[in-house]
Amino acid sequence: MTTTDRHEDIDAIKALKYRYLRCVDLRLWDELAETLAPEVSASYGRRLSLTGRDEVVTGLREQMTDDVITEHQAHHPEIEVDGDSATARWYLQDRVIVPAFDTMIIGGAFYTDTYARLDGRWVITSTGYTRTYEAMIDLKDIPSFTLTDNHLAPADGGEGSGRG
């Protein structure tokens, strides 16, 4: 493998992880499925472990309903490529806002992922994170908090309506 090939693979894996997170936050379930190997396994902290592409997508869809707003950012990748497989570690920062419960959860974690090149493209074969911290904030304790836009809200005025 040449240095150019290795850099191209690393760039492709970065783009894959970013796409995965974008699809989760925008609830693009069919596109999310395309980032995953059929036999993928996923472990999200201590609370949720799933196996198989369909189970992972269904499990995330059930967790991330339209009344839950999420933001996932992955930084500082450490990626090792070995032929048609790869491993990576990512620093995750995330935020979850649940307006109906006046709750915001913030956290940090380290993802550990594995990847495979299948039919010429990289897919995630396993993903999971270990939390470094998680904190919950009661939004009633922040009187100035107002949700002014929500891409998941119905078009009939869900955004800009105060806390929810």
Query: What's this model's pTM, rounded to 2 decimal places?
Result: 0.89
Q: Quick: pLDDT tens for 68-77.
A: 999 999 999 9
Q: Where are the beta strands (DSSP E) in the chain?
A: 36-44, 48-51, 69-82, 85-98, 103-118, 121-138
CATH (domain of 54) = 3.10.450.50
* Pairing mode, strands 103-118 and 85-98: antiparallel
Q: Is residue 25 part of a domain?
A: yes
Q: Report the number of distinct structural domains present in the chain.
A: 1
Q: Is residue 87 part of a domain?
A: yes
**97 Rama sector, left if φ>0, alpha if ψ -120 to 50, beta otherwise:** beta
Q: Quick: pLDDT tens for 36-85.
A: 999 999 999 888 999 999 999 999 999 999 899 999 999 999 999 999 99
